């Protein structure tokens, strides 16, 4: 038996489109992170970016369970004294719904140069339209 080693030139990338309407935030994020990493492929290699491109549409219609809309907070720090700010999930979904999904998926990717490269293959849009029609993305359905 010989072990098959994937080279960077052998990686084939596909484009997928996911409709987030009615999907649960965490469940969708884990499944999209798996596709971005390439774990759905038989040629998965943890030290290479073998994943595919993912387009998420209808990010504003994502669902969350429990009381997270009122209790989940997002924090950031400007670097200045007293510069810590926060926002509630419900307000973040109204103002920037794309950031909610990107934040959830970023937390499920590796925290290094490879993870940052994987995150660049994620495209999130709040509405139903996206500008990636030329790439002919295939619809991707997940089991919930």
Strands 73-77 and 138-139 come out as unpaired
> Is the residue at 91 inside a domain?
no
**Does 46 fall in a domain?**
yes
Q: How far apart are CA 103 and CA 6, in angstroms?
A: 29
CATH number of the domain encompassing residue 31: 3.90.1180.10
Domain count for the chain, please give it: 1
Instruction: Examine residue 108 and state whether it is found in any structural domain, yes or no.
Output: yes
- Give the pairing type, strands 53-57 and 122-124: parallel
Q: What is the C-alpha to C-alpha distance for residues 134 and 98, in angstroms, rounded to an integer? A: 22
Domain of residue 38: give its range.
13-63+97-139
pLDDT tens-digit profile of 11-39?
999 999 999 999 999 999 999 999 999 99
Q: Is the pTM of this model over 0.75?
A: yes
133: in domain: yes
Give the residue carrying structure tokens 């970016």. Answer: 49
Kindly report, residue by residue over 63-122, the tens digit of the pLDDT.
Answer: 999 999 999 999 999 999 999 999 999 999 999 999 999 999 999 999 999 999 999 999
């Amino acid at each position: 038996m010989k072990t098959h080693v994937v080279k960077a030139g052998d990686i084939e990338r596909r484009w997928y489109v996911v409709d987030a309407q009615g999907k649960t935030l965490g469940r969708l994020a884990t499944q999209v992170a798996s596709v971005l990493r390439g774990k759905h492929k038989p040629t998965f290699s943890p030290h290479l970016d073998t994943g595919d491109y993912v387009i998420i549409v209808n990010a504003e219609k994502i669902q969350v369970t429990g009381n997270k809309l009122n209790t989940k907070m997002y924090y950031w720090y400007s670097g200045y004294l007293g510069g810590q700010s926060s926002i509630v999930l419900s307000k973040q979904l109204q103002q920037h719904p794309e950031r909610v999904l990107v934040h959830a998926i970023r937390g499920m990717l590796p925290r290094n140069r490879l993870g940052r490269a994987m995150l660049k293959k994620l495209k999130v849009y709040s509405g139903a339209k996206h500008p990636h029609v030329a790439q002919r993305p295939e619809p991707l359905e997940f089991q919930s």
